A and B are shown apart, each in its own frame.
Chain A
Amino acid sequence: MKRLFTPYTNTIARATALGVPLLVLIAGGFGRMWLDSSYETGVGEAIDQPVPFSHEHHVAGLGIDCRFCHLSAETSSVAGVPATEVCMTCHSQIWTNAQMLQPVRDSFEKGQPIQWVRVNDLPDFVYFDHSIHVAKGVGCAECHGEVHRMPMTWKAQNLHMTWCLDCHRDPEKQLRPKDVVFSTDWFSGARAKLGAEIARENKVNTKGLTNCSTCHR
């Protein structure tokens, strides 16, 4: 009768025996990498907004301070997104009939708020407080990135819990002097050393910074 298996089936058999477990491992590795990739996190993706607002223009170009629009960054948990009013303080004078600003004017006249799309969206069970981070010397740019280079705003960090923890465990590297907290293009070669000083100055203390209830309630 015909033989059941031919010689080369041995090769196939052994290849599968070794290959399948190997493939599983590799797939797992890639899966993990994908979680951190921007495909998953959306880091660096410019997001369409009802009004094509350019931080690049307003921050780098006009040198407007973050707090001019994000009023409560120093005082409240939320930094605050500017009321239409704030836009109109300038745009009632300049670019008064620019087409792209039509939605702003409409909003102001009709009293209908502009619906911006959230760029940095933390899950609802995470409670982040801007004021304390600013007070302790964590610059806006640490999380929001080089906003002055963003014609359309995008997410600068993956906002994974691991990423939060990195800083909560060892904040010094992310600290900066008071005067440059709101600057997005500040750079220093000696951050580690500088950070240690600022940590002392602002009495940064990591006790309890990795407790669950620090961010989750």
Chain B
Amino acid sequence: MSQAQLDQSVDLEALRAKLAGKQGRQYWRSLEELAQTPEFRAYVDNEFAAGAPEWDDRFSRRSFLQIMGASLALAGLSAGCTRQPEEKIVPYVKQPEYVVPGKPMYFATSDVLAGYGRGLLVQSNDGRPTKIDGNPDHPASPGPFAPQKAGMTFGAADIYAIASILGMYDPDRSQAVKYLGEYNTWTAFTTVMSNAAEKIGTQQGQGLYLLTETVTSPTLIAQMQALLAKYPKAVWTQHEPVNRDQSRQGAMLAFGEDAQAVYHFDRAARIVAVDSDFVTTGPASVRQAHDFAAGRRVRAGIAAGEMNRLYAVESTLTSTGATADHRLALSPAEIDRFVRLLAAKLGISVGQVEPGAVDAEFVEVVAQDLAEHAGRGLVITGEGQPAHVHALVHAINEKLGNHGPNRPIEFIEPVAASLDQGQSLRDLVKAIDQNLVETLIVLGGNPVYNAPADLSFKAHYEKVQTRIHLGLYEDETAALSHWHIPQAHLLESWSDARSVDGTVGIIQPLIAPLYNGKTAHDLLTVLLGEGGRNGQRLVQDYWKTQISGAEFEKAWRKALHDGVVPGTQRAAKAVTAKAAVDLPRLSAARAANDQVDIILRPDPSVWDGRFANNGWLQELPRPITKLTWDNALLVSPATARDLGAKNGDVLDLTSGAYRLAAPVFITPGHADGCMTLHLGYGRMRAGHVGTNVGANAYALRQTDQPWVVRDVKVAHTGRTHQLVDSQKHHSMENRDLVRGGTLDEFLHNPASIAKSHHEDNLHLSLYEPYKFTGTQWAMTIDLTACIGCNACTIACQSENNIPVVGKAQVAVGREMHWIRVDHYYSNDANHPDPNQPESEFQPVTCMHCENAPCEVVCPVGATQHSDDGLNDMVYNRCIGTRYCSNNCPYKVRRFNFLEYQRPVAESLQLMQNPNVTVRMRGVMEKCTYCVQRISAARIGAKKRGITDPSISAGGDEDYNILDGEVVTACQAACPTQAIIFGNMNDPSSQVAQSRLPHQPHNYGMLTELNTRPRTTYLARVRNVHPKLAAATHEEHY
């Protein structure tokens, strides 16, 4: 039976049998080699025939001659001896005194996700923002655990924050005021509005409706209140596709009042995540991941109690589940049951609950473990769970004393206005039906696209007399509006925003609006009849009212500099749960074989769809599936077999009146009897990148079941859709790439968990090994900490001008990411079921091998070693033999097969990092350890060195770079500090401390090839509960 058939068949029995044969940990074989399916070939073929969007391949008769010419002309041989084209120097007319040409500057500001602010530190080169990092002073984007000895400190950030730089420069952004689809002017709009305002004023705002997304900006709220005071009858509706309605109702149920939980994972010894992807989803995820990782820094000499333990119970495999020490995959209904069982075990009255499909032992162990760590436990549930589950979880935490000051969970007044957004949108629609809505002003957001299907918002919106839309794009809503006003990007705006804990971050512009966009503030000033007040004044004036006049100037400047306004976080709030929660009866399990629950979740790349036109995010491989440029129905192998569905089969989903067709992607680890579909795709008017990508999950979404659509009928359409993933094979083939073991094993013998299969790790060579003296760069990646969130990949893409190549090119295996996060499925004695394997993440980037195989085979010396241990890549010397890639065992080299960097738009050129060469067609590229940052630091250190007495003239080096002076882009972005970089010859450096011999569980990948990689890994440690571990646990990857 051929590999192909073996991979394609979903015969679990066969797989179980296979696995039964082997003892120890086996890595799981991928279900399908995408490449072997005929439709793939068809796809690729016609991509090449018809021409992918990246490069048109159809030739006119004239170009035929041109081609024949080219074949004779041997493409510009004379290039070697011709002068460069004349270049212009354009200096300032008046140079701002703080600007030093060629030196980057950093500004603190904030961006907003789901309404909540997160701190940013934006790098600006000669007035162009070029790179985004987290602001370490901001609670939502924490910096390193240990303060750096020297150098600039960056905070962590998530992919949305980092990629928002591309969002700002996006040439598809709407660039002009439009009225009825025709170009118009802001002044025209303001005059019209002010006239309208008068009329509205006479009727006290009767008929004026405003629709915003979740708002936490104090300034905007103040403006709104002013507006509502001026027009008492005006109505303010809020709609955010990803809101906190469920949590809110949960809190109501539990405490009788709304309260918002703030989680301190660093205080928790035991964590139970009930369908909550707290490490990568939501505006607080970076903070949460950071705190979570603080409890998992497994280093030599830690005590047993110093590592937290995470139990994850979820339907769809998320980063949290993949990171968990124990994971249980349950369908939504079963999750409800699990929580009840857990509550019951902890002595909370939930009535009679049958264990059903839930593993009783698991519940038992979790309950006991939580009880043992009462007050240091944290049970968290996600927005996707119904209110009563939230309530139960609150009850459990209360019972265990996990609430309260300095406990893992603290409650505060909700940061955003406490209202049921579902209800408020329903009210708006009702009002439209009653013809009450004369003017509807949509301040940001895209309700026509992302309102639940059952409201048929599109139809209603069109009934409104005057429709005004403020948005970044001419999107679905803009298309149906009378007035469309281009919105200024947050990096172009003055504003402010509260983070999840209430802390206010000031938002300041880094560049004048590229497309003269306007902010919500601007628009409101018009309504308030105070037009022309600029954003800065507005925000400043608001804060004058908050900070007493005397030290305002100082405070204001400090707030701008730090990016946060001190002391603005919400005060803690005491809550007590009611004795009992009245629970609905448990919903029945799966009704019929052709019916499944569809789980809707914000997408790990495009969120609720607002990032759909962001090429970086579209091409970013999704954390588990490694899928790019699509969403899909994620389904477990078993359920896929029940439904007779293969990867790419398009299924027809029907839930009452609502239908949707979407392709299937088989994902081991997903709960049976349900499928997951991510929001944010199927955009009709997103832009060149995001339009017509994937299936629009909002078409199934309903106000009464926003996150889980029950009993959806499934039918085959017979069609298939090409799904493209950047990693085709998720089995480790029993190779010791990712190594690890349990905490017990680590404590007992740290080295054992990093042991290699191959005893022959001797470094045999014909030659004397090279002596690496002085500064020697090295990187360590902590596999225990990695949560697979992809922040490193996006940060690298932004820092190193890495191109987006498009779906067709990814399909043929030409993605360009310099650092990728490999994902493997694994089974072991504890997880024998190939339907429910464990997951491993492994970030892979250039290893900067001391014996680099790539260097030896390059005929022109385009890649060679530098004295500080870098594997240099010289693009302008490369002739593109691609031999280096063949000889790279880690396959981290990337090749410009086509002209990927062809400037599509001037704005995108502005975005590029001036310190990194833009690669031309036909050259190889790869991770450089951010050599541009190293060079900058070295030059600085050399200048210091001249006067530094500790450096002698005859010494080995004339500089001394301190630990922390060089921070790679990936390292800076990583929320869990899984990436450590520095000079390994400096014994006090973090990286030296993270290598052998200090960390016995440090290992290099494929060292049996004698490559001597500089990038090494800390083996993954799982804090397994002894009761859930198999009796004999001989770890053997």
Contacts and interface: CB of A to CB of B under 8 A. Distances in A.
Chain A directly contacts chain B within the complex, with at least one CB pair under 8 Å: yes
Interface of A: 34-35, 40, 42, 71-72, 75-78, 80-86, 107-108, 111-118, 121, 123-125, 127, 129, 131-132, 135-136, 199-205, 207-208, 211-214, 216-217
B866 A107 contact: no
A77 B102 contact: yes
B935 interface: yes
Contacts of A117: 86-89
Contact of A208 (B92, B102, B864, B868): B868
Nearest to A130: B102
B955 interface: yes
B586 interface: no
A108 to B, nearest CB: 7
A131 B946 CA distance: 13
Interface in B913-927: 915-918
Contacts of A116: 88-91
Given A123-B876, A124-B917, A213-B872, A203 B93 contact: no
Contacts of A86: 95
B1 interface: no
Nearest to B875: A125
A125 B876 contact: yes
B874 interface: yes
A132 B944 CA distance: 10
A211 B866 contact: yes
B942 A80 contact: no
Given A203-B951, A205-B958, A216-B876, A136 B91 contact: no
A125 B876 CA distance: 7
Nearest to A210: B867
Contact of B91 (A84, A108, A124, A214): A84
Interface in B944-981: 945-946, 951-958
B784 interface: no
B87 A113 contact: no
A86 B92 CA distance: 10
Interface residues of B, number: 50
Q: Which 4 A-B pairs have the closest CB atoms?
A: A205-B958, A211-B866, A78-B102, A208-B867
A41 to B, nearest CB: 8
B88 A212 contact: no
B90 A115 contact: yes
B935 A127 contact: yes
A45 to B, nearest CB: 11
B91 A207 contact: no
Interface in B885-941: 915-918, 928, 931-932, 934-935, 939
A71 B92 CA distance: 12
B966 to A, nearest CB: 13
B103 interface: yes
B88 A83 contact: no
Chain B contact residues: over half helix, strand or loop, or mixed?
A: loop
Given A203-B946, A217-B928, A75 B103 contact: yes
B100 interface: yes
A40 B81 contact: yes
B943 interface: yes
B796 to A, nearest CB: 14
B771 interface: no
Given A121-B84, A123-B84, A132-B942, A203 B95 contact: no
B585 interface: no
Contacts of A204: 953, 958
Contacts of A216: 872, 874-877, 917
A83 B95 contact: yes
Contacts, number: 152
Contact of B102 (A72, A82, A84): A72
A200 to B, nearest CB: 4
A29 to B, nearest CB: 15
A113 B877 CA distance: 36
B915 A76 contact: no
Given A72-B101, A213-B866, A213-B928, A135 B946 contact: yes
A208 B81 CA distance: 29
B88 A72 contact: no
A76 B957 contact: no
Given A112-B93, A217-B931, 11 more contacts: A80-B91, A81-B91, A118-B86, A129-B939, A132-B939, A135-B942, A136-B946, A203-B951, A205-B953, A211-B870, A211-B872
A59 to B, nearest CB: 19
A124 B917 CA distance: 7
B953 A200 contact: yes
Nearest to B871: A213
A71 B973 CA distance: 34
7 contacts: A76-B101, A86-B95, A111-B93, A129-B939, A204-B953, A204-B958, A217-B932
Nearest to A119: B89
Contacts of B918: 124
B83 interface: yes
Interface in B322-376: none
Interface string B65-105: 00000000000000001011011111111110000111100
B232 interface: no
A200 B90 CA distance: 39
A85 B95 contact: yes
Contacts of B868: 208, 211
B774 interface: yes
Contact of A80 (B86, B101, B866): B101
A217 B915 contact: yes
Nearest to A41: B83
Contacts of B957: 205, 207-208
Contacts of A211: 866-868, 870, 872
B928 A127 contact: no
A83 B97 CA distance: 11
A114 B525 CA distance: 39
A83 B94 contact: yes
Contacts of B84: 121, 123
A210 B942 CA distance: 16
Interface string B835-849: 000000000000000
Contacts of A71: 95, 100
Contact of A135 (B916, B928, B943, B952): B943
A40, A85, A132, A201 — most chain B CB neighbours (10 Å): A132
A136 B915 contact: no
